[in-house]
Amino acid sequence: MSIRLPTSQTLYQQDFYLWINTTIEQIRSQHLESVDWEHLLEELEDLGNAPKHKLESRLLVLLEHLLKLAYWSAEREYNARRWKGTIIEQRKQLKKLLKNNPSLKPYLTEVFEETYQDARDIVIVKTELASNVLPIQPAFTLEQVLDESWLPNLD
């Protein structure tokens, strides 16, 4: 009785970790005909998109807290320190992300307005502020958002 070894395709579905290690070994030993190229390319594309998703996520949180700080005056006294801490953290993380992935800078510009709209929607729900309180167009420039010394005017 022989044991039937899974193909790379089924291995990918049954044991992802083993599939990765098998694929690495196949490439190292130059058994390229055995490599599951379809899934490998799919995983590489996903890996390449991870920094983009991280950038969008950090920008979203940053914009959300800038909007709260600028427009949620009823809670500002109690939460401003925490919001400012989150703003600092997200700016620093974005700075590191862009330092390690400078080619993402144009993508940041590309997604800025859409991410602002998402942050605006989230803040409206979380704060129960009237939608007309928060500007529809970005209330801050991308340069201001990334500037570690800038905070919105709190009049």
The one-digit pLDDT tens for each residue of the chain (155 residues) are 545 556 666 788 889 999 999 999 999 999 999 999 999 999 999 998 999 999 999 999 999 999 999 999 999 999 999 999 999 999 999 999 999 999 999 999 999 999 999 999 999 999 999 999 999 999 999 999 999 999 998 76
Residues 6+ apart with CB under 8 A from 97: 51, 54, 55, 58, 104
pTM of the model: 0.82
Residue type, 138: P
Q: Are 152 and 140 in contact (CB under 8 A)?
A: yes
From the centroid of its chain, how far is CA 103? 15
Contact 62, 114 (CB under 8 A): no
